[in-house]
A and B are shown apart, each in its own frame.
Chain A
């Protein structure tokens, strides 16, 4: 079983200005069952669009996404449903992802009820089980979301996603909105759940430190494309693409202290507008290694060592 993303493109048409936003420009990636894929990149790199496409919230403009060989296609209603229960998403903001008028118990029980996942008289027990699984006191079941803290809410969101008995969990910045002192607990929970339930994760974040901590393989995205892919050790210890290098250098680091040279500028300029994509390599405008041909020929991912792929002609 695996998730297969093949040449996915996503464009949004802005009717008002008549322009097209190129959110995803040909992304191919394969996630094996039990693996955790970390996707890192800055805002506008397409990582959240990809997450939404994987769970079926967005229909790709081109390319295909299959889970366990089944195509994810909005037209095939039944397939979508079965796919849906196997692939779930946890959003970044635990404040907007729970229905404010629904008690915790109902939020978690709803999918179980609708899809008849357990017998009617066992639903309460199942909810208790899920609450305990995510480290919440089952007595919280009658609360409304606003009576919980951010960390507790995110645990409820995780429990709700798990209620559908998914195989693949897409985690879109799951700890970024939480207080710093609460993040570690949620990260530990995710790692425990992965082990205990045999889950496959796609962990999306702009925070390379968290990505590094949880991922087996890491994909670095820039302007709707994967620029580098490899095992976590390879990407962190031996980055090859100039963008990956810059990203790692820009990571705020608490292990190096009082060294102003740490603040040296690593990367000039800003991410180009996804409406007018640069020709050739989309990173050439900010790249220190760029040669004239970079603005003409778009590099494709090529393998430089076992399982380490990079899209750059100059390395």
Chain B
């Protein structure tokens, strides 16, 4: 069988056409490797080990990112903090996306009272400033990593409801969906084959963006003393702790902040790349 020159290429091909996508993927890959090092304990120092002897030292061959006021190795702590930040945000976004997208699609497709109920509920959650709501939940639930994840998930669920519901409302009015009804297809098939594939692009992009926000939220919570608790390390907590000594030890503030920036920028770029790759209209050019 001869090959059709216009035979569609996979999504990966189109993703690799996007510069921001490639840069984002490289940044992200780097951060994931860093976190994996922490998971497997491949760290030059114990991130919790205090050693007053080496307190407040600048970057050196022994302490690549320097040490803090307790003599802890900032490189090891940054890696461990990255692991913790990613764990919290990935689990938070997974929960929020699963629940939010399901509710959003059903809400948009079913309409009527169910839609009303879901929209009102998410409006209520939306009405609170995100960090304030997360704060309230964490202070009620407690502040272990899964409780923090849950709090962030609650805050982000309405975003996914909204992101999924809007396109469903548009797509279900498209002629190609009406045709499937005339052809006598079941609702499940219509949802799965004709609506879901046409609303995934904004959802996938939202996942990438939400991950970066979740990292910032987790950092914010830790910064305020409600996320990760000392002596454990998280990027936000490290920035918070470094504040008081930043004037004498810039490295204590700089490196964790740089890690946050890299991962947030990386995720945003990945989001851009995905948006380009998933849009068939952009592909055609």
> Within the complex, are A and B direct neighbours (CB within 8 Å)?
yes
Q: Which residues of A pack against B, CB within 8 Å?
A: 55-57, 80-81, 84-85, 87-89, 91, 93, 96-103, 110-111, 114-115, 139, 142-144, 146-147, 157, 160-161, 164
* Cβ–Cβ contact B183 & A139, under 8 A: no
* Cβ–Cβ contact A99 & B194, under 8 A: yes
* Cβ–Cβ contact B179 & A160, under 8 A: yes
Chain A residue, CB-CB nearest to B179 = A97
Q: How far is the CA of A115 from the CA of B8 in the complex (A)?
A: 28
Interface string of B174-190 (1 = CB under 8 A from A): 11101111111100010
Besides A97-B175, A97-B178, A103-B8, 18 more A-B contacts (Cβ < 8 Å) are A55-B182, A81-B184, A84-B182, A84-B183, A88-B182, A89-B179, A91-B178, A96-B174, A99-B197, A100-B281, A102-B197, A111-B184, A111-B185, A114-B183, A114-B184, A142-B6, A143-B8, A164-B183
Question: Closest CB-CB distance, A144 to chain B, in whole Å?
Answer: 6
* Cβ–Cβ contact A146 & B198, under 8 A: no
* Cβ–Cβ contact A147 & B185, under 8 A: no
* Cβ–Cβ contact B198 & A144, under 8 A: no
* Cβ–Cβ contact A56 & B176, under 8 A: no
Q: How far is the CA of A85 from the CA of B185 in the complex (A)?
A: 10
B198 interface neighbour in A91, A100, A157, Cβ under 8 Å: A100
Question: Closest CB-CB distance, A138 to chain B, in whole Å?
Answer: 11
> B residues within 8 A CB of A99?
176, 193-194, 197-198
Q: How far is the CA of A294 from the CA of B188 in the complex (A)?
A: 52
> B residues within 8 A CB of A55?
182
* Cβ–Cβ contact B4 & A101, under 8 A: no
* Cβ–Cβ contact B184 & A57, under 8 A: no
Q: Which of B179, B185, B280, B284 has the most CB of A within 10 A?
A: B179
Question: Closest CB-CB distance, A171 to chain B, in whole Å?
Answer: 13
Contact A89 B182, CB 8 Å, known A100-B198, A146-B281, A146-B284: yes
Q: Is B120 an interface residue (CB 8 A)?
A: no
Question: Closest CB-CB distance, B145 to chain A, in whole Å?
Answer: 37
* Cβ–Cβ contact B197 & A101, under 8 A: yes
* Cβ–Cβ contact B184 & A85, under 8 A: yes
* Cβ–Cβ contact B175 & A91, under 8 A: yes
Q: How far is the CA of A102 from the CA of B177 in the complex (A)?
A: 12
* Cβ–Cβ contact B184 & A115, under 8 A: yes
A144 interface neighbour in B175, B176, B178, B280, Cβ under 8 Å: B280
Would you list 16 pairs from A and B whose C-beta atoms are within 8 A, ordered by A residue? A56-B181, A57-B182, A84-B182, A88-B182, A97-B175, A98-B176, A101-B197, A102-B193, A111-B185, A114-B185, A142-B6, A143-B8, A144-B8, A146-B281, A157-B179, A160-B183
Contact A88 B6, CB 8 Å, known A57-B178, A100-B280: no
Question: Closest CB-CB distance, A142 to chain B, in whole Å?
Answer: 5
> A residues within 8 A CB of B176?
96-99
Q: Is B112 an interface residue (CB 8 A)?
A: no
> B residues within 8 A CB of A114?
183-185, 189
> B residues within 8 A CB of A96?
174-176
Q: How far is the CA of A156 from the CA of B6 in the complex (A)?
A: 17
Q: How far is the CA of A97 from the CA of B180 in the complex (A)?
A: 10
Chain A residue, CB-CB nearest to B281 = A146
Q: How far is the CA of A103 from the CA of B6 in the complex (A)?
A: 12
Question: Closest CB-CB distance, B274 to chain A, in whole Å?
Answer: 15
* Cβ–Cβ contact A146 & B280, under 8 A: yes
Q: How far is the CA of A55 from the CA of B7 in the complex (A)?
A: 34
* Cβ–Cβ contact B183 & A91, under 8 A: no
Interface string of B183-226 (1 = CB under 8 A from A): 11100010001100110000000000000000000000000000
Question: Closest CB-CB distance, A159 to chain B, in whole Å?
Answer: 12
Q: How far is the CA of A114 from the CA of B176 in the complex (A)?
A: 16
Chain A residue, CB-CB nearest to B194 = A99
> A residues within 8 A CB of B193?
99, 102, 110
Q: How far is the CA of A55 from the CA of B181 in the complex (A)?
A: 9
> A residues within 8 A CB of B181?
56-57
* Cβ–Cβ contact B175 & A93, under 8 A: yes
Q: Which of B184, B189, B193 has the most CB of A within 10 A?
A: B184
> A residues within 8 A CB of B185?
110-111, 114
> B residues within 8 A CB of A146?
280-281, 283-284
Chain A residue, CB-CB nearest to B183 = A111
> B residues within 8 A CB of A102?
193-194, 197
Chain B residue, CB-CB nearest to A77 = B184
> B residues within 8 A CB of A164?
183-184
Q: How far is the CA of A97 from the CA of B4 in the complex (A)?
A: 24
Interface string of B1-42 (1 = CB under 8 A from A): 000101110000000000000000000000000000000000
Q: How far is the CA of A279 from the CA of B98 in the complex (A)?
A: 55
Contact A88 B280, CB 8 Å, known A93-B175, A142-B4: no
* Cβ–Cβ contact B179 & A91, under 8 A: yes
> Which 3 pairs of residues, A with B, have the shortest CB-CB distance?
A97-B175, A84-B184, A81-B184
> B residues within 8 A CB of A101?
197-198, 280
* Cβ–Cβ contact B175 & A142, under 8 A: no
Chain A residue, CB-CB nearest to B195 = A99
Question: Closest CB-CB distance, B14 to chain A, in whole Å?
Answer: 12
> B residues within 8 A CB of A87?
182
Chain B residue, CB-CB nearest to A57 = B178
> A residues within 8 A CB of B180?
110
Q: How far is the CA of A164 from the CA of B182 in the complex (A)?
A: 10
Chain A residue, CB-CB nearest to B197 = A101
Chain A residue, CB-CB nearest to B2 = A139
* Cβ–Cβ contact A142 & B8, under 8 A: yes
Chain A residue, CB-CB nearest to B196 = A101
